[in-house]
Amino acid sequence: MENKIFRGGVVGLGKMGLLHSAIINVSKNRTLSAVSESNGIMRRYFSALMPQVNFYEDYKEMLKKETLDFVFITTPPSSHIHIALECHKYNCHLFIEKPLCLNTISAQPLIDALEKHPRITMVGYMMRYDDIFRRAKELIDCAVLGRVISFSATTYVSQQFKAGKGWRYDPEESGGGVLIAQGIHAIDIICWLFGTPRVVNARTNSFYSKTVEDFCHVVFEWTNGMTGWLDSSWSVDHHRMLETSFQIHGENGSLSVNDDILKLYLRTERGGFPRGWTLQTKPELFSGVDIDIGGPQFTRQDVAFFNAIIYGNATENDLKSAYAVQNVVDCIYKSAKSDGHPVLI
């Protein structure tokens, strides 16, 4: 299997489709064979730049004419499940950009199909492959903080200060606003670090947008008594790039982590870390990648997907994991619609 050349396809040639296409093309044992893109201008432009790739207007035609081992689905969320089901018919391994879908109900047909005929799956929660957040998980898993008591988290970007246009602001296409578009990355990290919460209650505010939320605040509770909250907005000042931050409090100290720096404070020495402060930055933790397009975490994520195909091992952020994250998001929206009434997960 290591010597086989795996043929891949991409459905949707927007920002993420281009990013994954580039990573496929520089990865060992993988080749980008076909692309489906409904926009004629995009299709003609990139077909001229990539004559070795076959371009199609319809992904169904692509699947019929090409023999593909895997497909990256990078279209709006409303189309993910339909495309994935069609790819599954052709025995393709599936990479789906986040979010998995509009809601868990819409995902059920794909869940059922994969139970009957399993394939390698991955959903694009690339923050799991960020050096700093991976180190944070290592510290929590080895219990240097002792029992985690509570956390606070924020995910902010300066993006939305007037009514937006396009599919991202149509809940029938996107599933919602800032929570499902950007805050969902933090939800995935929360579930990854601490497990699925027991109950959520949430409030949202559509200050600039008419149909989707611009602000979202969520409170979480776990069965072991741990609590936490997340505040998410794409309508705050002074955040040119999306920034996700966590403050985690444990019985033996605290952990502060964001996209650039990790700060650990321990009351007593534990796990090889001294009492007091330990600081680690992104450059210090950088583990290297073959190509960096948009951030090394994207390359690590895609390589993990490719390796799972070659060696048959599981992926961390597979469809089952993404389905659990989607369920938490569904419950958050349900709580927000009921004026913050707690919702059991």
Considering the domain boundaries, does residue 314 fall inside one?
no
Considering the domain boundaries, does residue 304 fall inside one?
no
Same domain membership, residue 245 and residue 145 = yes
Same domain membership, residue 339 and residue 280 = yes
Considering the domain boundaries, does residue 308 fall inside one?
no
Q: Which range among 24-33, 170-179, 257-266, 313-322 shows the weakest confidence by mean pLDDT?
A: 24-33
Phi-psi region of 54 (alpha: psi -120 to 50; beta: other; left: phi over 0): beta
DSSP state of 21: H
- pLDDT interval class at 173 (50, 70, 90): very high
Same domain membership, residue 272 and residue 188 = yes
Is 0.85 topped by the overall pTM?
yes
pLDDT mean over 279-308: 93
User: What is the domain extent for residue 245?
Assistant: 128-291+324-344
Q: How many domains does the chain have?
A: 2
Considering the domain boundaries, does residue 309 fall inside one?
no
Q: What CATH number corresponds to the domain at position 26?
A: 3.40.50.720
Same domain membership, residue 114 and residue 152 = no
Considering the domain boundaries, does residue 311 fall inside one?
no
Same domain membership, residue 286 and residue 195 = yes
CB proximity list for 332: less than 8 A, separation 6 or greater: 179, 187, 200, 202, 216, 218, 343
- pLDDT interval class at 1 (50, 70, 90): low
DSSP result, 192-223 = HHH---SEEEEEEE-SS-SSS-SEEEEEEE-T
What's the token pair of residue 296? 């090394």
DSSP state of 259: S
pLDDT mean over 59-80: 98
What's the token pair of residue 276? 């007091």
Beta-strand relationship, 253-257 and 261-266: antiparallel
Domain finish residue from 71, 91, 119: 119
Considering only CA atoms, which of 222, 18, 23, 40 is closest in space to residue 129? 23
Considering the domain boundaries, does residue 307 fall inside one?
no
What span, in angstroms and rounded, lies between the C-alpha atoms of 196 and 226? 11
Question: In the predicted model, what is the mean pLDDT of the chain?
Answer: 96
Going 274 to 154 to 181 to 243, the CA torsion angle's sign is negative
Instruction: Write out pLDDT tens, residues 97-135.
Output: 999 999 999 999 999 999 999 999 999 999 999 999 999
Q: Above 70 in pLDDT, residue 327?
A: yes
Domain finish residue from 119, 140, 164: 119
Same domain membership, residue 107 and residue 29 = yes
Same domain membership, residue 64 and residue 134 = no
Per-position b or e across 210-226, b if 16+ CB within 10 A of its CB: eebbbbbbbbbbeeeeb
331 burial type by CB count under 10 A (0-12 exposed, 13-18 middle, 19+ buried): buried
Considering the domain boundaries, does residue 224 fall inside one?
yes
Same domain membership, residue 141 and residue 103 = no
Domain finish residue from 90, 119, 148: 119
Same domain membership, residue 162 and residue 31 = no
What's the token pair of residue 142? 């080895």
Q: What CATH number corresponds to the domain at position 283?
A: 3.30.360.10
Q: Above 70 in pLDDT, residue 217?
A: yes
Tokens 């509570």 sit on residue: 150
What's the token pair of residue 93? 């391994």
Same domain membership, residue 227 and residue 144 = yes
Considering the domain boundaries, does residue 316 fall inside one?
no
